[in-house]
Amino acid sequence: DNKTKTILSNLGINAINDAFSTGSTWGSAPGCTVSTISSPVDGQKIADVNMATTACYDKTILKATEAFTTWRGIPAPKRGEIVRQIGLALRAHKDDLGYLVSYEMGKSLQEGRGEVQEMIDICDFAVGLSRQLYGLTMHSERPQHRMYEQYHPLGVVGIISAFNFPVAVWSWNAMLGWVCGDVCVWKPSEKTPLTAIACQHIVQTVFEANSVPEGVSCLVIGDRSIGELMANDTRVPLISATGSTRMGKAVAAAVGARLGKSLLELGGNNAVIISEHADLNIALTGAVFGAVGTAGQRCTTTRRLIIHESIYDAFRQKLVNAYSQLRIGNPLNEHNHVGPLIDHDAVEAYLKSITACKAQGGKFIVEGGVLSGDGYESGCYVRPCIAEVENHYGIVQHETFAPILYLIKYSTLNQAIQLQNGVPQGLSSAIITNHLREAEAFLSASGSDCGIANVNIGTSGAEIGGAFGGEKETGGGRESGSDAWKVYMRRQTNTINYSTSLPLAQGIKFEL
Ligand code: UN1
The pLDDT tens digits for 221-265 are: 999 999 999 999 999 999 999 999 999 999 999 999 999 999 999
The rounded Å distance from CA 196 to ligand 1 centre is 17
Mean pLDDT, residues 62-78: 98
The sign one gets for the Cα dihedral 169, 175, 176, 177 is positive
Residues 6 or more apart in contact with residue 257 via CB below 8 angstroms: 232
Q: How confident is the model at residue 12 (pLDDT cuts 50, 70, 90)?
A: confident
The pLDDT tens digits for 413-436 are: 999 999 999 999 999 999 999 999
Assess whether 265 carries a catalytic annotation: yes
The rounded Å distance from CA 168 to ligand 1 centre is 9
H or E stretch covering 33: strand 33-38
Confidence (pLDDT) at 1: 76
**pLDDT for residue 15 is more than 80:** no
Chain mean pLDDT for the chain = 97
Mean pLDDT, residues 125-133: 98
Confidence (pLDDT) at 198: 96
Alpha helix (H) ranges present in 130-243? 168-179, 193-209, 224-231
Q: Which of 118, 120, 165, 474 to mutate to test the pocket of ligand 1 (most atoms within 8 A of CB)?
A: 165
The residues lining ligand 1, judged by C-beta closer than 6 Å to any ligand atom, are: 118, 164-165, 169, 242, 298-300, 460-462
Q: How confident is the model at residue 19 (pLDDT cuts 50, 70, 90)?
A: very high
CA angle 408, 352, 227 (to 5 degrees): 100
Mean pLDDT, residues 54-71: 98
The rounded Å distance from CA 233 to ligand 1 centre is 28
Residues 6 or more apart in contact with residue 105 via CB below 8 angstroms: 40, 112, 163, 164, 166, 191, 192, 195, 342
Mean pLDDT, residues 304-325: 98
pTM of this structure: 0.97
Ligand 1 atom, smallest distance to 460 CA:
11
Which among 192, 169, 145 has a CA at the least distance from the CA of 496?
145
Q: How confident is the model at residue 11 (pLDDT cuts 50, 70, 90)?
A: confident
The rounded Å distance from CA 361 to ligand 1 centre is 31
**pLDDT for residue 10 is more than 90:** no
Percentage with pLDDT > 90 across the chain: 96
Q: How confident is the model at residue 309 (pLDDT cuts 50, 70, 90)?
A: very high
Confidence (pLDDT) at 391: 98
The pLDDT tens digits for 264-274 are: 999 999 999 99
Q: Which of 460, 478, 480 to mutate to test the pocket of ligand 1 (most atoms within 8 A of CB)?
A: 460
Mean pLDDT, residues 383-405: 98
Q: Which of 108, 245, 269, 300 to mutate to test the pocket of ligand 1 (most atoms within 8 A of CB)?
A: 300
Backbone angles phi, psi at 484, to 5 degrees: -60, -20
The pLDDT tens digits for 456-475 are: 999 999 999 999 999 999 99
CA distance 411 to 393: 19
The rounded Å distance from CA 271 to ligand 1 centre is 15
Ligand 1 atom, smallest distance to 298 CA:
2
Confidence (pLDDT) at 191: 97
The rounded Å distance from CA 293 to ligand 1 centre is 11
Mean pLDDT, residues 345-366: 98
Confidence (pLDDT) at 160: 98
Confidence (pLDDT) at 2: 84
Ligand 1 atom, smallest distance to 468 CA:
4
Percentage with pLDDT > 70 across the chain: 100
> How many CB atoms are located within 10 Å of the residue 509 CB?
6
Confidence (pLDDT) at 253: 98
Mean pLDDT, residues 29-35: 92
Closest residue CA from atom 7 of ligand 1: 461
Helical packing angle, 193-209 and 76-92, nearest 10°: 130
Residues 6 or more apart in contact with residue 418 via CB below 8 angstroms: none
Closest residue CA from atom 1 of ligand 1: 299
Ligand 1 atom, smallest distance to 299 CA:
2
The pLDDT tens digits for 191-220 are: 999 999 999 999 999 999 999 999 999 999
Tell me which of 115, 118, 265, 479 is the catalytic residue: 265
**pLDDT for residue 284 is more than 90:** yes
